Structure 1
Amino acid sequence: MSTGGPDPAARQLRRSLGLTDAVVVGLGSMIGAGIFAALAPAARAAGSGLLLGLAVAALIAYCNATSSARLAARYPASGGTYVYGRERLGEFWGYLAGWSFIVGKTASCAAMALTVGIYAWPEQAHPVAAAVVVAVTAINYRGVQKSAAVTRVIVALVLATLTAVMAAAFASGAGAATRLGFGADLSVGGVLQAAVLLFFAFAGYARIATLGEEVRDPTRTIPRAIPSALGITLVVYTLVAIAALAVLGPVELAAASAPLSSVVRAAEAGWAEPVVRAGAVLAALGSLLALLLGVSRTTLAMARDRHLPRALAAVHPRFAVPHRAELAIGVLVAGAAATIDIRSAIGFASFGVLVYYAIANAAAATLTAAEGRPIRAIPAVGLAGSLVLAFTLPGPSVLAGAAVVAVGALIYTARRRPPDSDTT
């Protein structure tokens, strides 16, 4: 590779994130708007099995996170599973992982932006969502350290909000232990559907891996940052879920449109409702900030390999960010946030991200002991669990997600097909 040319695509990103920054980025991705919204539909699906659904989601997330961490330490470059799939399974699988991630997470970004709009100004949700994307893109454009600093503040405020919810719930005396027991509504299908919803409430641990090129001492930092962020998130989510079930019970929780607001109201702590509303906005902003970082870095990696336009591989000479990729993704997400319905984005986004994690686990299974292979059961459970959750989604979501993945595969095949030769 030439090192003396002026090609901006040849520039590398700056390694400026330490362990604390990496953990904060992971927390910003995971402790997001999902916990403010996912508990109610999860309770509708699983009833009294809500905590079992959380346990299943946590197990699969742990396996996926462990596989991602081992791979990120081996390949500390931008792109996450796009890079791991390419290096361990072949170019097609890397491409498919990158395609699934970019399409799925672009839709997720739009959903997060719309969540901000819905909570902040429901009557103008779409314009607010588009404006929020523009603002967050501008923050990311200024450099990953600026993004980490903003995320640190957001995470602190969101954790304070969730602490207030738990304190109100546990102090109310409304927490009857019988509400936490299993009832006749428990079913395997319901638990799995709840696991899908709760999995995506904290599925941002891979964001640390996609920023691998910007982490200092990545072989040590990433394997420590990913499980740390996941562990903190799991503890917080478990306590919040227990508090919600204790105060409301599965039936009332399932019927709640804004479950954490309902918790503080039932706990006779109405003063906390505006705090919860503000916390939901901040959580969605934190998720959006980290999501846009991850999508732009995967776009950068795919552009470097010419699976996307080469111009998107440019790195800004001052801010050391993939500025063209960030701007392109920002435009796409702002357009989607201004026009789509939030529900229409969820199906193929969920399917695509689970395909991404399935490929990550398949790649991790090929690591040798000398390369830091995890216990063999971990990628096996992660792969199987990701596929089971993908096909537990509602039928229309599975069809939409599979169609998007198939389109990506067809594009790859068409681009790679050799030209017809003259065989006269």
Structure 2
Amino acid sequence: MQGKKPELIRTKVPLRRELGLVAVTLSGVGIILGAGIYALLGEATALAGNAVWMTFAISALIAGFTALSYAELSSMYPRASAEYEYVSNAIGRRVAFVIGWLIILSGIFGVATVSLGFGGYFSDLTGAPFLASAVALVLVLSAILLYGIRETALVAIILTLIEAGGIVMIILIGLPYLGSVDYLEMPLGFSGIFQASALVFFAYMGFEEMVKLSEEVRDPERTIPLALVLALGITIFLYILVSLAAVSVVGWEQLAASRAPFADVAYVALGSPAFTIISIIALFATANTALLMMVAASRITYGMAESYSLPTLLARVSRKTRTPWVAILAIMLASIAFIFAGEISFVANVTNFMLFLTFIVINAAVILLRLRAPGLTRPFRTPGTVGRVPVLPVLGIITSFALLTQLEPVVLLIGGALTVFGILLSVVELGREP
């Protein structure tokens, strides 16, 4: 491929533009809801008490800063390479390569983490081997991805409706109990509220994955930003309602001690059949999150290869299904490898390091492009400016850095090492360009 221009890759087999606003919005809701809320609610309640609903409102505000930055950039550069494209135009290709590298890794680590969660649920319900169940999930999801984006979106929509149905079920269960507790009771005061807010911020992660669908979306300049805002708004509404419902049924003390908070709420209200139903829904939630993470990771891999920053083999698209089959297989194999890497919490926290660092750079990209290229067309603009500086991206940088500093030293060390490796890899890969 030496001597060929990047544009030649794009003229071969493009991705198929199949997705509209509803499909993209529901995909976003699916990946944001994911498995996080099913596991995090109990831990957050231990810190925030009955006021746990407040932590979801606070963390939503923080997530919103960066989400709006993604909305503006996606409207300007509707490409599958997403963060790589944004940072390349704002800062330069070397920094963009490192960010793209971290996003791909975060996707792989995220798939491994969620698959391990699926394996745990499936093993508890059926007795099947834990690791084998996790690997089997990745293989099945890869087959769906290879089949086509329309079919992938259909599966994601079905799984999203199922997992959202589980949350709605808890909300409905809690309706008769509303008003039974003091919703401002905070066992650790506002200190606990802020600690819990940092924790439940993880439940909002996933909005950044939506932009990788840009080359498979009709009218992406309008659709992606609108879908981003809608998906985040829907999840905020559901999170606050479900947290109010859960503490109303069992109270914060019992919820805080639970390993499966939603299932326990269902059990208290409706008995063991409801417990089993919620546990099964949690399986669908983890599967959906893994599926959509694989979509995002494979698309940014494809996009970077298409832009000649990764081996062009990864940009190959099937003529029959119009899916980036080599990138999908690469993400599949890497995800399976990391399933055997260690415990869930460690892999998840390394993923968080990569995302927080990416969020800092993405918000900086919005600010730099406003200052350096104010005349560029922006179908969506992040609201609020002081002079020529947009305010919300500045707040996004500050809050993302604050969350980054809360990670354990060993996670910062591993994340830093992977970042340095990405820098070295950028020297090699970009140095090979014709």
Distance 1:339 1:223 in 2: 36
Judged with a 3 Å threshold, the aligned counterparts in structure 2 of structure 1 residues 80 and 196 are, in CA distance, closer, same or farther, namely farther
Partner residue in 1 for 2:424: 410
Counterpart AA for 1:142: Y
Judged with a 3 Å threshold, the aligned counterparts in structure 2 of structure 1 residues 4 and 245 are, in CA distance, closer, same or farther, namely closer
Superposed counterparts of 1:317-332, under 5 Å: 317-332=319-334
Alpha-carbon offset, residue 244 of structure 1? 1.8
| More moved, 90-99 vs 285-294 | 90-99
Superposed counterparts of 1:10-409, under 5 Å: 10-47=12-49, 50-122=52-124, 123=127, 124-171=129-176, 173=177, 176-178=180-182, 180-188=183-191, 190-338=192-340, 340-368=342-370, 370=375, 371-372=377-378, 373-374=381-382, 375=384, 376-409=390-423
* Number of matched pairs: 414
Distance 1:25 1:177 in 2: 35
Counterpart AA for 1:233: T
Q: What CA RMSD, in Å, does the superposition of the two structures yield over aligned residues?
A: 2.3
Provide Cα deviations, 1:55-79, integer angstroms capped at 9, x if missing partner.
2210121111111111111101102
Alpha-carbon offset, residue 110 of structure 1? 0.7
Counterpart AA for 2:412: V
Alpha-carbon offset, residue 141 of structure 1? 0.7
Distance 1:242 1:351 in 2: 30
Distance 1:254 1:393 in 2: 22
Structure-1-length-normalised TM-score: 0.91
Distance 2:58 2:94 in 1: 30
Distance 2:85 2:42 in 1: 36
CA contact (8 A) 1:315 1:323 kept: yes
Counterpart AA for 2:317: V
Alpha-carbon offset, residue 417 of structure 1? 7.1
Partner residue in 2 for 1:422: none
Distance 1:138 1:8 in 2: 24
Judged with a 3 Å threshold, the aligned counterparts in structure 2 of structure 1 residues 407 and 2 are, in CA distance, closer, same or farther, namely closer
Identity of aligned residues (%): 29
Alpha-carbon offset, residue 297 of structure 1? 0.7
Distance 1:244 1:11 in 2: 49
CA contact (8 A) 2:57 2:236 kept: no
Local SS of the residue matching 1:365: helix
Judged with a 3 Å threshold, the aligned counterparts in structure 2 of structure 1 residues 50 and 402 are, in CA distance, closer, same or farther, namely farther
CA contact (8 A) 1:256 1:262 kept: yes
Judged with a 3 Å threshold, the aligned counterparts in structure 2 of structure 1 residues 2 and 298 are, in CA distance, closer, same or farther, namely closer
Alpha-carbon offset, residue 33 of structure 1? 0.7
Counterpart AA for 1:411: L
Counterpart AA for 2:62: I
Distance 1:413 1:223 in 2: 33
Local SS of the residue matching 1:267: helix
Distance 2:427 2:193 in 1: 38
Distance 1:243 1:168 in 2: 7
Provide Cα deviations, 1:233-283, integer angstroms capped at 9, x if missing partner.
111111111112222333322211111112122334433111111110001
Judged with a 3 Å threshold, the aligned counterparts in structure 2 of structure 1 residues 216 and 248 are, in CA distance, closer, same or farther, namely same
Where structure 2 has 5 or more consecutive residues not aligned to the other structure, the ranges are 385-389
Counterpart AA for 1:143: G
Alpha-carbon offset, residue 156 of structure 1? 1.2
CA contact (8 A) 1:296 1:322 kept: yes
Counterpart AA for 2:231: A
CA contact (8 A) 1:26 1:205 kept: yes
CA contact (8 A) 2:310 2:429 kept: no
Partner residue in 1 for 2:387: none
Distance 2:272 2:178 in 1: 15
Distance 1:177 1:132 in 2: 40
CA contact (8 A) 1:350 1:401 kept: no
Alpha-carbon offset, residue 338 of structure 1? 4.5
Judged with a 3 Å threshold, the aligned counterparts in structure 2 of structure 1 residues 192 and 103 are, in CA distance, closer, same or farther, namely farther
Distance 1:332 1:264 in 2: 37
CA contact (8 A) 1:130 1:338 kept: no
Alpha-carbon offset, residue 296 of structure 1? 0.4
CA contact (8 A) 2:30 2:159 kept: yes
Alpha-carbon offset, residue 48 of structure 1? 5.1
Counterpart AA for 1:140: L
Local SS of the residue matching 1:13: coil
CA contact (8 A) 1:193 1:389 kept: no
Distance 1:73 1:159 in 2: 28
Distance 1:403 1:187 in 2: 35
Counterpart AA for 1:167: L
Local SS of the residue matching 1:39: helix
Alpha-carbon offset, residue 201 of structure 1? 1.4
